[in-house]
Amino acid sequence: MTEVLIPSDATIVEIAQEVWSSILEDAGELTSVFGFDEKHETAVLAFIEITGNWHGSVRISCSVQAAKHIAAGMFGKSEIDVEDDELSDAVGEFTNIIGGNIKALFPSPCNLSLPGVAGIGSFADNLPPGLEDKISEVQVVEVHLEWEGEPLSIGLWENK
Amino acid sequence: MIALVVDDSRSMRSILARILTQLGAQVSQAGDGKSALALLEVGPLPDIALVDWHMPIMDGLQFVSAVRRRPEWRPMAIMMVSTESDQHHIVQALAAGANEYIMKPFTKDAVQEKLELLGIAVMNIQTKGNQGES
């Protein structure tokens, strides 16, 4: 059986920062933090599934404001002009790119699903479509990042 | 330069269209391979198509194969733009008829370099926020 090494927190942070700075106009700095204050309420949720020599999912949650910044940076418009469908599309594509770069760390062959995006809530009570049947997955990595005080978390969940 | 961007993500199409416009291209867009084939039927033939791999209805690999079956469309260069980075996928795309392959995320400079490798003339049009990053 192929030996699979789980990517480190530092590697996930590096991928997130590279994707952030490469695809967003006026990206600003995405910094790694140890955790979030209670005041932070993540509201936009996305995931993408990896299957093959490693099986699990990459789950991203962020505040609405961070999601608007992602969408604004990708669509080249101001945050106030971002429509809901643009926000969903942009967070989905952001998740797809991060998921693809994480997938590349696992032994080939691995496949990537299309991303799923949901809004408002937590993964526990508001799962993006397609994530309902992933209750057997356990979290193996979680990193917390911030852009101008707005939270963005990336979790790696393994299907055991 | 006339360019066609084929990607199911509107945000990714927006990024690529912005970069290509800054490089002097006229850009058309399609959300899947089937819609892109319909645009090719109408014409004019683009100099380059930038094609995502994973799309609903008709994926990027099916689109490349369909294009390469039509002799009149052979002059169009095809660049895959994908998160698929393993050797197997790259070989598969090139074997189907793609000319170049670029990984997401990418910078404007990387896209420009790939276009130049394909012999496609580009010009740098400076606009707000155009500092070499996508």
Does residue A94 fall inside a structural domain?
yes
For the domain that residue A69 is a member of, what is the CATH number?
A: 3.40.1550.10
Tokens for B25, please give them: 């291209």
Could you tell me the residue range of the domain that residue A151 belongs to? 9-159
Does residue A148 fall inside a structural domain?
yes
CA B33 to chain centre: 12
pLDDT in tens, A82-108: 998 999 999 999 999 999 999 999 998
Handedness of CA A132, A151, B104, B84 (dihedral sign): negative
Total number of domains constituting chain A: 1
Concatenating the DSSP letter of every residue in B65-122 gives: HHHHT-GGGTTSEEEEEES--SHHHHHHHHHHT--EEEESS--HHHHHHHHHHTT---
Whether residues B85 and A101 touch (CB distance < 8 A) is answered with yes
Whether residues B88 and A109 touch (CB distance < 8 A) is answered with yes
Query: How many alpha carbons fall within 13 Å on the CB side of residue B122?
Result: 23
CA–CA gap between residue A2 and residue B46 (Å, rounded): 44
Regions of chain A short of the pLDDT cut 70: 1-2, 35-42, 119-135
pLDDT of residue B134: 34
Does residue A2 fall inside a structural domain?
no
CA–CA gap between residue B104 and residue A37 (Å, rounded): 32
Tokens for B87, please give them: 């050797």
Q: Residue B122: which pLDDT band, with cuts at 50, 70 and 90? A: confident
- Contact (Cβ atoms closer than 8 angstroms) between residue A46 and residue A67: no
CA–CA gap between residue A58 and residue A95 (Å, rounded): 8
Decide if B86 touches A, using CB distance below 8 A. Answer: yes
Residues of A in contact with B18 (CB under 8 A): 76
For B2-117, the fitting CATH number among 2.60.450.10, 3.30.70.2340, 3.40.50.620, 3.40.50.2300 is: 3.40.50.2300
* pLDDT (mean) for B66-82: 97
